[in-house]
Structure 1
Amino acid sequence: MTTIRIRTTEDAVARIAAMATKVIASGGHEGHDLEAVGTRMTSDEVLDTIRRAYLRRLGEGMTVRDAFTRTGQALIAHYCNAARIPTRDA
């Protein structure tokens, strides 16, 4: 298990984007390699969306850990749905 230290919102945003990028790229889907996914995840629009979602969850009373996890899960699910990447084995 890896310990992730989140000291600021920007720490969380960067780590969420990086981890989601790795998870999505590890699926091996054409057009969604590490570089392509990373380029999408580091766009200002996506980073702003991650930030808003993370802060919203904190504002709802979630712990940093739960807000981090839920934001990452939602990001991966949204990306996969938008790209028509299956999110479970058929």
Structure 2
Amino acid sequence: MGDKLYSRDGAEYLEWMENGWTDSLESRLHLPRHALHAAGLELEFMGQNHRWEAGLPKDLLEFCEGKKITPTPDVVIWSRHD
């Protein structure tokens, strides 16, 4: 979901670079970003275990609940204009 770069032959990524997020991309990818989320991360550092947990971000939670997703610019780390 939302993977422009690794979907099919990469055509979605090139289309996004050229035109930005479009209705056509939305119909194929469903989300304007990857639908990846780590619910938890655990590691050992300097002899101590550390664990972090995070709930789903609002946009992914709404997607899972069947609501329409709108782009959230504050979530983007890299943009096509960088």
TM-score by length of 1: 0.27
Structure with greater proportional strand content: 2
Report which structure shows greater RCO (CA 8 Å, sep ≥6).
Answer: 1
